[in-house]
Chain A
Amino acid sequence: MGRIFSTLAHYLGVYREFLNTSFSQALSFRVHFILLIFMDLFFYASALLTVDYLYTHVEQIGIWNREQFLFFISFMLALDHLHMTFISESFWSLSFAIRKGDLDFLLVKPINTIFHVFFRHIRPASMCNLLVTWSLVIYYGRVCELTMVSWILLPFLLLLGLTLLVSLEILISTSMFWLVESFGINFLRMQFQHLARWPDFVYQTFSRRILTFVIPILLVGNAPVRFLFNAEDYWLLVWLAIMLLIIWVIAARLWDMGLRAYESASS
């Protein structure tokens, strides 16, 4: 037990250093820092206004009214915000690291490679929008009259959705080891994010089943939000947990295979 805690403390210490270096790096480029904040704000505004304009012409889309739909969008924006802040940058760096051979230096470090690769880069500028995304979640959550239990579970379910999204992205990113120019894989990853940003009922039956049960990208937001609205929809969360386990097993295997296939461009 003591060993687990000391390992955890060690990794927390390393992560603190990641944070420090990311902050000092980000603050060296102030215009970049400010533009990143605006980029996120433009994105939030366009996502919310699109749905808002739609609902001025229709009363209901699928099973949700305007407020429920906007709560879902806000939930996804909050999830996306965490993703942008703590994870996203690392995927772009991975494709460069593999292409240029910089991954060599990460592989020899006395630390778990997956942790170093996917948690190394943090975007401090995006942290500034934390208040915006959570204000939206709280505002629409109140309008939708979420129960006390739902409010308590909300942050945990958001992290669960984020974990599924990141796990799927890691799975996709393992393909970078086999491709010479893997920049495009990041665009594939982003397309999955786009698909996840809409409620499952907007997709037609066949697509919905594929994107829920085979490539479970729709579970990222739909499983938590449906459960928050109605606890009887717990089965989607159960399926999310099962899929998470399956993805971790496959991703770990593919990661090992990928490392064996890695040709180390610089050496």
Chain B
Amino acid sequence: MSGPMTGPMTGGTAVVRLDGVGKTFQLADGSSTVALSGIDLSIGRGEFVSLIGPSGCGKSTLLRLIGDLTHPSTGSVTVNGKSATQARLGRDYGMVFQAPVLFEWRTVEDNVKLPLELSGMERAERSSRADEMLALVDLVDFARHHPYQLSGGMQQRVAIARALAFAPDILLMDEPFGALDEMTRERMNSEVLRIWEQTGITVVFVTHSIPEAVFLSSRVVVMSPRPGRITRVVDIDLPRPRGFDTRENRRYFELVTEVREALRGSDLSSASDGRLEAEGTIG
């Protein structure tokens, strides 16, 4: 497997490119809120980039802009040299949300097959591909179960298997482990890293958790609210493969501190504005 190397990939072809991106939401009372302003960011092939910041900093909105679930008010989003819309229609994205968003009427296996059905894959091929993905997230024994029979962590693993099923170019993850307990979250982090190393996929990962961002990423993008903007990008030069030892590494603590200080500098004093992220959802 040609897995990603240590450290950030710089100078390679940009998979995601944001130029002067801004997003303004019109609120119901006629006023408007600037959710994002002046965002420039380039993400290289095979990178693992985390977006971190306080609530209301627009990190989820930024992810949704990349995934074409919402459109920028200013600037441009380019994905694999195409517009975000073309990339979405070309099925370049796999998405994992905070909730697993599994269809309860489908078995685990059939949930994973859903995107394959939509892309018109042959039945036999769908089955073997779903088996492969369930093996990747270690859920082969639960193929015939329904989602309600699985724990939260297992459900989120199904969601990851589904997102990866049609081998998308980019995996967009919006606080995927935010609802899980700390132990499960750490296990899931290792799982995601293993999958990333095996597949070489580009990952954009939104999180509230500093340790999670540092442990996973090749770069951590620190954001601040009102208006949402990038205040700092921290290169994470921890050696790979990362595992249990990484979390006890001195460099790990230094980087956690660095990100934490970058966050403190990014104006935490102003209370978060939950409306921003709520406004981002498309009905």
Chain B associates with chain A: no
